[in-house]
């Protein structure tokens, strides 16, 4: 089986590809720009994107909408993570948290699959924002996110290690379990 992943982010594709490889599912990247609306939840952003795409492209596909939620900043950047990454960047986030003892944060991911109907799968991982960058793997805020119970940031892990614990890995797990049940 082949699955189209609609995203412009090669880091997300690498994770999904590695995740699905062991299940015999081939993930390929489709670059189609779609509107990412301003909304309160990742689910709303994902659903709008999927329905917009479903009117324009044929066949099944999935996308991922994710974000970093920092507790001391009342959940910022959350649904604005992609914009904040591009503008403030990692250095901007480190500056905002400078001197703060409470560095708790979590990532959330919503995987939205379209097969004529919408199916949503979500995942979450808790952790903290480190005071400096560590590691060169992954993408986005990975160099400053250390999941709870680990002494390394996501950027210091292999894709397989990150997938086992990450928000996206969990959403992909729920998605793959649903596929196993529903593609019989
Ligand atoms: P979007 O899902 O394309 O709206 O972008 C979410 C943004 O959140 C990305 O541009 C990254 O900055 C950040 N992000 C989402 N997931 C991850 C992750 O697994 N690692 C690091 N940053 C992430």
Q: Give the Å distance between the CA of 184 and the centre of ligand 1.
A: 32
**2-182: CATH number:** 3.90.950.10
Q: 5: Cβ below 6 Å to ligand 1?
A: no
Q: Going by C-beta distance under 8 Å and a sequence separation of 6 or more, which residues neighbour residue 96? A: 73, 88
Q: 106: Cβ below 6 Å to ligand 1?
A: no
23 falls in which pLDDT band (50, 70, 90)?
confident
Minimum CA distance residue for ligand 1 atom 9: 82
Minimum CA distance residue for ligand 1 atom 12: 140
- Give me the active site residues, please: 65
Q: Are 159 and 137 in contact (CB under 8 A)?
A: yes
How confident is the model over 47-86, as pLDDT tens digits? 999 999 999 999 999 999 999 999 999 999 999 999 999 9
Annotated domain spans of the chain:
2-182
pLDDT at 15: 96
22 falls in which pLDDT band (50, 70, 90)?
confident
How confident is the model over 120-137, as pLDDT tens digits? 999 999 999 999 999 999
């Amino acid at each position: 089986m082949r699955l189209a992943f609609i995203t412009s982010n090669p880091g997300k594709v690498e994770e999904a590809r590695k995740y699905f490889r062991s299940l015999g599912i081939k993930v390929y990247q489709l670059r189609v720009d779609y509107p990412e609306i301003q909304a309160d939840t990742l689910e709303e952003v994902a659903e709008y994107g999927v329905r917009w795409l479903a009117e324009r492209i044929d066949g099944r596909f999935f996308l991922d909408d994710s974000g970093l939620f920092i507790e001391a900043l009342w959940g910022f950047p959350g649904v604005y993570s992609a914009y904040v990454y591009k503008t403030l960047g990692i250095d901007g986030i480190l500056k905002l948290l400078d001197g703060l003892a409470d560095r708790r944060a979590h990532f959330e991911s919503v995987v939205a699959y379209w097969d004529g109907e919408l199916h949503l799968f979500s995942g979450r991982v808790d952790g903290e924002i480190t005071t400096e960058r560590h590691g060169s793997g992954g993408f986005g805020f990975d160099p400053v996110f250390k999941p709870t119970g680990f002494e390394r940031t996501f950027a210091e892990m292999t894709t397989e290690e990150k997938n086992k614990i990450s928000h996206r890995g969990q959403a992909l797990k729920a998605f793959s379990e649903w596929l196993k049940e529903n593609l019989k």
